[in-house]
Structure formats: C-alpha cells, structure tokens
Amino acid sequence: EAGVTQFPSHSVIEKGQTVTLRCDPISGHDNLYWYRRVMGKEIKFLLHFVKESKQDESGMPNNRFLAERTGGTYSTLKVQPAELEDSGVYFCASSKRQASSYEQYFGPGTRLTVT
C-alpha cells in the first residue's frame, strides 16, 4: 500500500511569490489533514477535509492560504502571496475514518523557505 506522498519535497521562493503544495493521501482515506511545523515549534493543525468538504479550517493562518480537495482525492495548499513567516515544513496526513481513535498517516512533508 502506497503511503501519503507530498510534492515538492523542498521549495524556495521569494516573498510575494505563489507556491502550491500537493498531497496525495492513501487510497481510500476520506480524511485529509494539513499541518505546519515552524522550526523548533510544535506541529500546528491547519485544516481537515472529509472527502472534498472542509470539516475544520480553524488553523488556517489567514486568507493568503487556500486549500482545495477537488473530487475528494488529492489536495493542494496554495500560499499567495508568500511571506517570510510562512517558512516551515508542511505536513499532510490522512486517515480512513474520522473517529478520534484512529491514527493518522503522515507524508514526508514539504519544506518551504520564503526569502
């Protein structure tokens, strides 16, 4: 079974540019999550999709961040325009069911550097 994949693995962009991150969850997993970890800080929740619907987007920092999951398969996270404080590692995770007891499966992350 293929795991969660993320693309790109690294991205270096200038302040003001746009970047789009992609996440492919494990096949059959309806739940998809985005997280971000700024260097040395905790992993912070950004949002949660159930299929193509946003279940919870309370962690999205501001309206420069836009997440989509068209068709309920892969998801994209766009940052436009990027700011210096957006730098960090963006993780995607998926789980089969929404029940709180189910563990999430994480991708390798995308390291975003905004200069």
Chain residues that interact with another protein, rule: CB under 8 A:
3-4, 6, 33, 35, 40-45, 48, 55-56, 58-59, 91, 93, 100-101, 103-109
7 DSSP β-pair partners: 22
Q: How far is the CB of 99 from another protein (least distance, A)?
A: 9
Report, in Å, the least distance between residue 37 CB and another protein.
8
Distance, in Å, from the CA atom of 96 to the CA atom of 56, rounded to the nearest integer, reads: 17
Cβ atoms of 89 and 36 closer than 8 Å: yes
Cβ closest to another protein, residue 10 vs residue 15: 10
Nearer to another protein (CB atom), residue 35 or residue 65 = 35
Nearest distance in Å: CB 20, another protein: 19
The answer to whether the beta carbons of residues 35 and 103 sit under 8 Å apart is: no
CA distance 113 to 105: 24
Rounded distance between C-alpha atoms, residue 42 and residue 4, angstroms = 21
Residue whose CB is less far from another protein, 18 or 58: 58
- 6 vs 11 by CB, closer to another protein: 6
Distance of alpha carbon 101 from alpha carbon 61, whole angstroms: 27
| CB of 81 vs another protein, minimal distance in Å | 27
